[in-house]
Structure 1
């Protein structure tokens, strides 16, 4: 029987989520990859145990994580039920709905029907009565925003979610959604968006400034740009890499010669400062005052431990931050 490390909370930093009472670890664990039907269950267990043993209390899922969709929730639910049920009140478990999940016209986007049906399915797969955070996974231009927000309100009112979040929203839509959720007295506390050295979309679409103005939390995913901000691709594309065997979210065309040249310069800078490119990339995000938590993913337990080590690294100086932006200026988006 798994027993959690009694010292697990000593090395992790915890941050308040916006203007709420909920504390999240500076690093959270995402199950977007490595928890599908093609992954070994024992390795999944070791990933979850390693994360929790080192103070990572927040585990992030979505209804469509797999492959196949739903597989990550099923596998995490088994681990939770078999090994972690005694620690449920020390865990923050989140899931999302809003992408295509099942056949027909009711399996995606933001309708009340889709979101609430999906939440029920997620709870069944997770073997839970409630999740701590339930997100709308992306903006839906074809559903009135009021309907989507009412569905999130119902999720909380029914006791199936403690808090709600929004994922992949822009600044203006976030502000309108916040007004609606405030009127409904819904505990909306957090946004989830892609943000890393190579992708600054949240800086340009108003999301980052809106999060700050509205006192909402921000949790970021793809901090290492699907492995681009590591030493993985510095000398080409390995056969066992994500590009090599699962190009759904990262393919060879994305790794342009200009981008690779910039990444190599960043790597040189990191090495000169005695850290890795991945550590520098994570530290850059963790220093952002708007960022509550950074979602990491992993295929091996050692990678989790390495990522947690970034918390002990000194902050990047203003000169170093300026140098990073100078290197990335020609390719940044």
Structure 2
């Protein structure tokens, strides 16, 4: 059946400007980090992407190593783009990244010009695209001069393979220097993608100030702390959860009694606002307009709908914010 997008898709979504650029992102974006790999169902992936676009989510975020296996998320997205979304390509913001290990030998990871350009060429082939809207340096490379990494990003824009460039997982000082180099080259830094949630607030210690001072937008990944800030763990750790499977990203030891106590207390505030815990956590990340977009993951279409509904209530009273701070400051054992 031919896919026809929801005609009302732009009526309820919020779109925020990225820093001082002309580009806007939906307040909720969809990441393909998990559940879109070669081990996953193409039909479920298609249904989630259709659902997202029908709800006004125009931004789809990938990376060369997303899967598993690495590269397979881009391949799945490319199939869905070709079968469903190609007529809407100019309505989409598609991003990908390079920085983590992708192939054997000395040129298969980090931030060299050789790796970044080769990786993007591979990504474009996997997705069937001539260009991506945003290309990121996925992580800072301590052994490659930052000048070389930024020159590669500048070259990628000038070659027409990306419209904008970004960085991810860079510290405040590294970001400040990246901004300086890119401004000199004439390709401004558009966006930073840091990890940020109620339980991981490192970007508040300098990075957000650097981004604001330099007109750089931001998109927060893991705003739900890989499911910890959802209803999944309110009653303990389910046997079928990611934490129970000892994932390298989230494991059972990280979900401590102290963390669960905080999550349950936060859930009470969410309920008083008429929100699920996930909606509440997303609204908090987007509070005050410092974060341009919250990057969600999903395993089924219903989760996307629930998360987008967070945009119905992004306002927090001073009393609510104080209660949240008191809960998050709780360091009792």
What's the TM-score, normalizing by structure 2? 0.97
Report the equivalent of 2:186. Answer: 185
For 2:273 and 2:312, the matched residues in 1 are separated by 14
Q: 2:92 matched to which residue of 1? A: 91
Q: Which residue of 2 aligns with 1:247?
A: 247
Please give the alpha-carbon distance, in whole angstroms, between the structure 2 residues aligned to 1:277 and 1:303.
12
Q: Compared with structure 1, are the counterparts of its residues 230 and 108 closer, same or farther at alpha carbon in structure 2 (3 Å cutoff)?
A: same
SS at structure 1 position matched to 2:110: coil
Output the CA distance in 2 between the equivalents of 1:286 and 1:331. Answer: 25
User: Map of 1:249-268 to 2, 5 A cutoff?
Assistant: 249-268=249-268
Query: Which structure 1 segments of 5+ residues have no match?
Result: none
Q: Is the CA contact (8 Å cut-off) linking 1:35 and 1:71 kept in structure 2?
A: yes
User: Against the structure 1 CA distance between its residues 331 and 161, is the aligned structure 2 distance closer, same or farther, given a 3 Å change threshold?
Assistant: farther
- 2:101–2:110 Cα contact (<8 Å) kept: yes
Shift of 1:185: 0.6
Superposed displacement of residue 248, structure 1? 2.4
Q: Distance in 2 between matches of 1:310 and 1:280?
A: 7
* TM-score computed with the length of structure 1 as normaliser: 0.97
Do the aligned residues in 1 keep the contact of 2:179 with 2:188 (CA within 8 Å)?
Answer: no
* Contact 2:286–2:314 under 8 Å retained in 1: no
Give the ranges of 4+ consecutive aligned residues of structure 1 lying more than 6 Å apart after TM superposition. none
Residues 85-164 of structure 1: pairs in structure 2 closer than 5 A: 85-164=86-165
Deviation at 1:331, TM superposition (A): 4.7
Task: Tell me, in whole angstroms, the C-alpha distance in 2 between the residues paired with 1:196 and 1:80.
Answer: 30
8 Å CA contact 2:94–2:134 kept in 1: the answer is yes
Distance 1:30 1:140 in 2: 23
Q: Deviations over 1:302-330 (max 9, x none)?
A: 11111111111251111101111110113
Shift of 1:74: 0.3
RMSD: 1.2
Structure-2 separation of matches of 1:210 and 1:108: 27
Structure 2: give runs of 5+ residues left out of the alignment.
Answer: none
Alignment check: 8 A CA contact 2:9 2:55 kept:
yes
Please state if 1:291 is matched with 2:285: no
Aligned residue number for residue 211 of structure 1: 211
Per the alignment, in what secondary structure is the counterpart of residue 232 of structure 1? helix
